Copies of this chain bind each other. A is one copy, B any other.
Amino acid sequence: MSTPKILILGGGYGGLMTAVRLQKQLNHNEAEVTLVNKHDYHYFTTWLHEPAAGTKDPEKCRVDIESILDTNKIKFVKGTVSEIKREQKTAVLDSGEQLAYDYLVIGLGSEPETFGIQGLKEHAYSIRSINSVREIREHIEYCFAKFKNERRPELLTFIVGGAGFTGIEFVGELSDRVPELCAEFDIEPSNVKIYNIEAAPTVLPGFDPDLVNYAMDVLGRKGVTFKISTPIKECTPEGVVLADGEEIKSSTVVWTGGVRGNSIIENAGFETMRGRVKVDPYLHAPGHDDVFIVGDGALIINEEINRPYPPTAQIAIQQGENLGDNLVALVRGGSELKPFVPSLKGTVASLGKNEAIGLVGDKKIYGSTAALMKKIIDNRSLFLLGGLPLVMKKVKL
């Protein structure tokens, strides 16, 4: 019998963690493992609000995949997946190359969910990759430089659609960056407006109201104007039109209102809900013993509240660990797989420099304590993915 082929699509938290786990446990020739990724680097998606606002160097938010993988054990292919052919058990890259698999791991991440809001796809930025956040940062700086010459208020009006995790964390960073940009470009800070617009009746829907109030208070004092219970009706090249008819002119609309699974999954014929596949306890796509899904593409219901777990880095990493172990068992002919059980360590949202809110277990935390906890969580992800060497390179102090 030939060596089984494990093909991992995507080098995000879930896919990369699966690869790392396989690399640690598999012996030579037990399996042929290939990781395919669009870039030759992995990036820390949960940090991207920082380089987007310009408060962190994007270089600090990515790491070469080959510095984490032992390429004697795991083959790395830089390429963009365009299609999965379930029947032929292959994935097709946009170079035309076809990669065959015995076991497939889909970790292709997410796409912005626009909920049918017109113009959002065309005119709004989203915080989704190193390339996208570099463009957001440069665009913001360009608007400041341009305002100094043209004085058009929309150049310094920033609209963030969505006040979930990413939206809140981004306005926190942006409001920290504004005073620096004003100083750099000789601009009076009162010219800058930051709006955070949310359709739900609260920011951070689902979060504890005490924490929500604390967050709104901190961000409000930093200059963020919230508009809650306010759906965006349309995004145009000039700004946004709200459901109540109000128009806000803005050169910069950043959409953080939601994500859906990568459309390659549904195009391959898997059954999805908002692009995500309701996986079984072993992360199988239903009816496919040879296909596993990790990260943003996997939908798992939290039975306690009968709602899906949010797509987080924490869960993606845990899925990678679980799946890595199960794949080792499979290639060794085992049939006993470990079910995946998420272990929620806590949730912390940054509100900018030295400010955050969070829940650790049942405990609410605020301010500098929460900010410290956030850094610990971020550094722990680094450790899980790349061990101490990665922590040393990219550590958050």
Chain A residues within 8 Å of B, Cβ to Cβ? 131-132, 134-135, 137-139, 141-142, 144-146, 148-149, 185-186
Contacts and interface: CB of A to CB of B under 8 A. Distances in A.
A139 B141 CA distance: 9
Nearest to A148: B131
Given A134-B185, A137-B145, A139-B146, 13 more contacts: A131-B148, A131-B186, A135-B145, A135-B149, A138-B138, A138-B142, A138-B144, A138-B145, A138-B146, A139-B142, A139-B145, A141-B142, A142-B142
A185 B62 CA distance: 13
B142 A135 contact: yes
Contact of A145 (B134, B146, B149, B185): B134
A146 B135 CA distance: 6
Nearest to A62: B186
9 contacts: A131-B145, A134-B145, A135-B145, A135-B146, A138-B141, A138-B142, A139-B146, A141-B141, A142-B142
The 8 closest A-B pairs by CB, nearest first: A138-B145, A138-B142, A135-B145, A142-B142, A134-B145, A131-B148, A138-B141, A131-B149
A138 B146 CA distance: 9
Contacts of A134: 145, 148, 185
Copies of this protein in the assembly total 2
Nearest to A136: B145
A251 to B, nearest CB: 12
A186 B58 CA distance: 12
Nearest to A139: B142
Contacts of A145: 131, 134-135, 137-139
Most buried by B among A134, A141, A185: A134
Contacts of A144: 138
Contacts of A148: 131, 134-135
A145 B137 CA distance: 9
Contacts of A131: 145, 148-149, 186
A58 to B, nearest CB: 9
Nearest to A133: B145
Nearest to A134: B145
Contacts of A186: 131
Contacts of A185: 134
A11 to B, nearest CB: 15
A141 to B, nearest CB: 5
A71 B132 CA distance: 49
A341 B149 CA distance: 37
A135, A144, A148: residue with the most chain B Cβ atoms closer than 10 Å:
A135
Contacts of A135: 142, 145-146, 148-149
Contacts of A142: 135, 138-139, 141-142
